[in-house]
Structure 1
Amino acid sequence: MQHTLYPNIDELLTPAALSRLTGQSITAVQSHPLEAFYNKSGSRLLAVETNGGDGPRYILKGVSLDWDWQMRATGDHSCRSVGLWQYGILDRLPSKIRHGVIACARDGDGWAILMQDVSRWMLPYAPIRKQHNKKFLAAMAALHATFLNDPALKDPNLNLCTTRHVYTVFGPETGRRELGRGDEVPQRILEGWELVKSELPADVVNIVVPLVNDPTPLCNALARYPFTLVHGDWRHANQGLIREDGKQRTILLDWQLATAGAPAIDIARYLGTNSALFPVSKEKCINYYRKQLARRLGNQFDESWWQPQLELALLGGFVQDGWAIVLKATTWDITAHQRDHWQADLHWWVEQVRTGAKWL
């Protein structure tokens, strides 16, 4: 089912439109700017309150190439988060996942995404419980099984990230291009990749640095294997859990880095960004996800593609996030209290790089 974009925010946020969209009686609408610590792309947020604060509350996310550096880095000239809603892909997500999007609108040269306010159900930066970790991994497997080799993902209207975008969005070229435009992340990207050269063994540097600058061999290798809808940014700040109809469901926000790619691209990102919060080892996370995916795919699942795409994607996980992992292991103030963990984590990723390189 396709959805129609509202022509502007004013029409989207009328009481009549919100009443129609939500099935609730909305008589008045107010909005004000909202700050979110983990919003690192440059997008802008509004809190939308209704009925004088007594009605339902929503979040309006504004995105534009003018202020969102990740959109610029991934060639997102049509807002893929909006496209996934507009062309019905989000409607097809498995029942385990809630995306929160209600409607979308144009906003001048940019776009606006109206979402349910799910802030109270989102994960804090705190240890993840075992049962919750399993919920997330099962939801990830359900997503990947639902869209395995789905030709709908090839629709150019979606303008999904390419795998090249996946592995260059946090690369040094992006850092150099975006430096001085007001966001701290590009500077951190450059610092991290410089540290990679001095902190890693020479053989690993010789694998990683060429791929960071040109991931073509990695992209070509992954293209040999099945593809699915990859969320692309499966980290704690985009994850939550909500109970509906007696069942706990995964909230998964921010689809701006979505791509059609190998399933394990998501598990690699999940491991790289959430590592310090896990209740179990990364190996146990991978094994649980694998079992869930195999169960859902049945005879579509095969070790002949599973293992190579996993090992390549783990190599890719470091090509994507190695800058941050090295910073967390060495100099980044925000993770100083977890330094020992990230130093051990860095050693783990070094071995994944060596293992994955044989498939290039």
Structure 2
Amino acid sequence: MPAVLPRIRDLLAGLDDLEPMPDAPGKSGARLRRGRRDGHSYVVKFIDAGRDWTQHASGVLGGPIVPLWQRGILDRLPDCINQPIIAVADEGHGSHRRTAILMHDVARWLIPPVDESIPLSVHQLQLAHLATMHATLWEPGAEFDVVPEMHRYLELSPWTAWTEAAIGSDHVVPPLLDRGWQLLPQVAPRAAAIVGPLALDPGPLVQALGGTPQSFVHGNWKLDNLGLDDRGRTVLIDWELPGIGAPCGDLAWYLAINCRRLPQSKEAAIADYRAALEAAGVDTGGWWDRQLGLALLGALVQFGWEKAFGGYDDELAWWADRATEGARYLG
């Protein structure tokens, strides 16, 4: 198994001209630096356990990348995935624990963080490669259980807002969670009545999803974390919430967080993902409707706060309808 270096200075050895990357997207509190070694460009991500609110939410001290690396999970990804991590270091304990991740510099391949829709061909490749990853790692072993499914549905909950406020966090996202969850009952009372209780206790949702097929999920399949390299592979970064879970959960997250940039309808994207999963050898008969319904409900459990800021527009109305439909699978 790949070794985790015990000192960050060992990971940084030989890197020259480390400079901050202030324009890199991301709101977790991690710091990014770019440097060079032997004529090649690299990026180092520094994660401070005392400051990274996404690490607090994941419940994995040191961050999920440490067990992913130690267990060799990243080496088992399919060939269509280009993951750029080449070394991990982890030092300290408790709130003083620090993790550093050394990566090839893949910035030139990442999808630009702009407002325009992405090309249909790029979008469909992301769905196809997501399905291939799920099919390759279908019904995985216990070593893939990194971030519990429960934690994926609690990360953007009111609990995170309240916890970060209690420790004096100065991050941007947690206060937005609190405001958004308070706003949702005003703009979408029907949806709030369904997802509000689940945002506080996603146990019924997690239990229902656990009765459907499981795979290894990335947990944050958003455009800021994706790209296409010159071989047509999906560049995949930012392992924030990986673990065993419902594959449709990754799909639902993708549809929810990237909604303003999708070049086709959500229904068409769902059909494309399912076709890719079938083409990769997964039989979706018998479980698909139930898992998809629960996963779409789960996406509003994760993003109801964010959708509320746009008012009751077509986007929120679509998710409210899916939440109503998905709730029938909870029993």
TM-score, length basis structure 2:
0.93
1:201-223 CA deviation, whole Å, 9 max, x = no partner? Answer: 33x22211110110110000000
* 1:161-310 aligned within 5 A: 161-179=147-165, 180-202=168-190, 204-244=191-231, 248-298=232-282, 301-310=283-292
Shift of 1:12: 1.8
2-structure distance, mates of 1:72, 1:353:
27
Q: Distance in 2 between matches of 1:14 and 1:255?
A: 24
For the residue of structure 2 that corresponds to 1:160, the secondary structure is coil
For residues 1-360 of structure 1, the aligned pairs below 5 Å read 2-15=1-14, 29-50=16-37, 55-108=39-92, 109-124=97-112, 125=114, 126-151=116-141, 154-155=142-143, 160-179=146-165, 180-202=168-190, 204-244=191-231, 248-298=232-282, 301-327=283-309, 329-330=310-311, 343-360=313-330
Q: Does the aligned pair in 2 maintain the 1:62–1:107 contact within 8 Å? A: no
Secondary structure of the residue aligned to 1:359 is coil
The Cα shift of 1:255 comes to 0.9
Give the counterpart letter for 1:134 in structure 2: Q
Task: Quote the Cα distance in structure 2 between the aligned partners of 1:78 and 1:57.
Answer: 25
> Is the CA contact (8 Å cut-off) linking 2:66 and 2:88 kept in structure 1?
yes
Q: Distance in 2 between matches of 1:37 and 1:11?
A: 25
- Structure 1 residue ranges without an equivalent (≥5): 16-27, 331-341
Deviation (angstroms), 1:162: 1.2
Letter in 1 for 2:287: W
Q: Give the 3-state SS of the residue equivalent to 1:232 in structure 2.
A: coil
- Cα offset for 1:159? 5.7
The whole-number CA distance in structure 2 between the counterparts of 1:302 and 1:117 is: 37
- Matched residues, number: 322
Could you tell me which residue of structure 2 aligns to residue 25 of structure 1?
A: none
| Residue 283 of structure 1: how far off its partner (Å) | 0.5
Query: How big is the shift at 1:234?
Result: 0.7
Deviations 1:72-128 (A, max 9, x none): 112111421122122111111111111110111124422111011111211122311
Deviations 1:163-195 (A, max 9, x none): 111111000011011124110101100111011
Contact 1:101-1:114 within 8 A present in 2 as well: yes
Which residue identity is paired with 1:149? Answer: E
Q: Do the aligned partners of 1:80 and 1:160 also contact (CA within 8 Å) in 2?
A: yes
Distance in 2 of aligned mates of 1:229 and 1:320: 19
In 2, Cα distance between equivalents of 1:173 and 1:120: 37
Q: Bigger relative contact order, structure 1 or 2, given CA contacts below 8 A and separation 6+?
A: 2
Q: CA deviation at 1:312?
A: 0.1
Tell me, in whole angstroms, the C-alpha distance in 1 between the residues paired with 2:328 and 2:24: 39
Structure 1 counterpart of 2:263, one-letter code: P
- Give the letter aligned to residue 348 of structure 1: W
8 Å Cα contact 2:4-2:69 kept in structure 1: no
Instruction: Work out which of the two has the higher radius of gyration on C-alpha atoms and give 1 or 2.
Output: 1
The unaligned stretches of length 5 or more in structure 2 are none
Q: Secondary structure at the match of 2:281?
A: helix
Higher helix share: 1
Distance 1:80 1:209 in 2: 27
On the 8 A contact 2:88/2:100 being kept in 1, the answer is yes
Contact 1:76/1:159 (<8 A) preserved: no
Cα contact 2:8–2:100 (8 A) shared by 1: yes
Root-mean-square deviation (CA), in Å? Answer: 1.5
After TM superposition, give the deviation of residue 13 of structure 1 in Å.
Answer: 2.4
One-letter identity of the residue aligned with 1:235: K
Matched residues in 2 for 1:311 and 1:196: separation? 21
Deviation at 1:277, TM superposition (A): 0.6
CA contact (8 A) 1:312 1:359 kept: yes
1:13 is matched by which residue type in structure 2? L
Distance 1:303 1:45 in 2: 44
